[in-house]
Copies of this chain bind each other. A is one copy, B any other.
Amino acid sequence: MVTHAPVGDGEFDRSTVVTRRETVENAAGENTAREGVYDADLSPDWTVANVLNGGYLLAVLGRALADALPHPDPFALSAHYLSPSVPGPAVIRTQTVRAGRTLATGQASLFQTGEDGREVERIRVLGSYGDLAALPDDVRTSATPPVLPPPERCVSPDDGPPPPGDFALAGRLSLRLDPATVGWALGEPSGRGEVRAWFDFADGRAPDPVSLLLTVDALPPTAFDLGLLGWAPTVELTAHIRCRPAPGPLRVAIMTRNLAGGFLEEDAEVWDSADRLVCQSRQLARAPRA
């Protein structure tokens, strides 16, 4: 087990820094308080097979909106992925769509400069933000946490053969996979489309609402458990943050029920150490070619 460190000074924090430009101009050259522009430096530490992880990118955008909007926490963040991001500089343009008393909605786009020198949009998101700490404590739920063996009886990605290509993301995380959901690593996928794991940052950084945006997309994809060992590029991913996570390891369960027409959904649930359902997400992805 890792020792837990506070939010703010971990690898994740340093890799998701966004820096607001002081002077903001809109397309007509006017300053506008409703648009904030941020610089980011996408880190190669969060890649899988040389592709930047979609959850990491969502967290970068989530931090920019958290700064731009008057409320701190993402309640609902919807991302449409347009083109693969690469490590290096990126610009995030935000817009405040509506600022209400308890919820604010904003939009953000992540751009990078392509090889031809032109700006390419990578991801566009809409986010509704509020203050999780201001919510009442009432919980009425029929959801139950995923059943997982204790971490010491789970499997680390380090225990298996290294996956093809670079897998820098693995070094940032302490994942402990339920042995019942890793048959695919031995050529024996269960066919159920389920993966469950304990999730921690390798450096012990505690979870917070923004890091949950990474957590929902950080496990080996459900497609592996369906016998499809390839990249499943995300088309759309929406995450709902339902509660500020307590310190300690998270339990994550991801599941695919329906693969059809070359697309699949992947649902994720994240539970904290206090047995609270802290996040639900769903993504639509292209199925890997079998």
Copies in the complex: 2
- Contacting pair B242 A263 (CB below 8 A): yes
CA distance A137 to B27 in the complex (A): 45
Residues of A238-282 contacting chain B, CB below 8 A: 238, 240, 242-243, 257-263, 265, 276-277, 280, 282
- The answer to whether B76 touches A235 (Cβ under 8 A) is yes
Q: Is the CB of B284 within 8 A of A78?
A: no
Write the A77-108 contact mask toward B (1 if CB under 8 angstroms, else 0): 01010110000000000000110000101010
Partner of A135, one of B78, B261, B277, B280: B261
A135 to B263, CA, bound (A): 9
CB pair B98–A259 under 8 Å, yes or no, is no
Q: Does A39 contact B (CB under 8 A)?
A: no
Is A124 an interface residue when CB atoms closer than 8 A count as contact?
yes
A42 and B239 CA atoms in complex are apart in Å by 30
A interface, over-half SS: strand
Min CB distance A219 to B, Å, is 18
Q: List 7 A-B contacts (CB under 8 A).
A: A98-B121, A137-B261, A139-B258, A140-B260, A142-B258, A238-B238, A238-B282
Among the listed B226, B261, B280, which residue makes an inter-chain contact with A242, where contact means beta carbons less than 8 Å apart? B261
Say yes or no: A258-B277 contact (C-beta < 8 A), given A80-B97, A80-B126, A105-B124. yes
Q: How far is the CB of A265 from chain B (nearest CB, A)?
A: 6
Query: Is residue A192 contacting chain B, with contact meaning CB distance below 8 A?
Result: yes
Q: Which residues of B contact A80 (CB under 8 A)?
A: 76, 78, 97, 105, 126-128
- Asked whether A143 is an interface residue with its Cβ less than 8 Å from the other chain, the reply is yes
Q: How far, in angstroms, from A15 to B97 measured CA to CA in the complex? A: 27
Write out the residue numbers on chain B whose beta carbons fall within 8 Å of the beta carbon of A105: 80, 82, 124
Give chain B residues whose Cβ lies under 8 Å from the Cβ of A128: 80, 235-236, 284
User: Does A141 touch B at the CB level, under 8 Å?
Assistant: yes
- Complex-state Cα separation, A140 to B287, whole angstroms: 11
Q: Assess whether A115 is interfacial by the CB under 8 Å rule.
A: no
A138 on interface, CB distance cutoff 8 Å: yes
Tell me if A75 counts as interface (CB < 8 A to partner B). Answer: yes
Q: Contact check, B243 vs A141: say whether CB atoms are below 8 A apart.
A: no
Beyond A80-B97, A140-B226, A143-B258: 20 further Cβ-contacts under 8 Å?
A28-B28, A75-B235, A75-B236, A75-B284, A82-B97, A82-B98, A83-B98, A103-B235, A128-B236, A132-B261, A135-B260, A135-B263, A139-B260, A139-B261, A140-B259, A141-B258, A143-B257, A238-B238, A258-B277, A280-B282
Tell which of A27, A76, A126 has the most Cβ of chain B within 10 Å: A76
**Smallest distance from the beta carbon of A256 to chain B beta carbons, Å?**
8
Decide if A221 is an interface residue (CB 8 Å cutoff). no
Alpha-carbon distance A125/B277, docked complex (angstroms): 27
Interface string of A127-164 (1 = CB under 8 A from B): 11000100111111111000000000000000000000
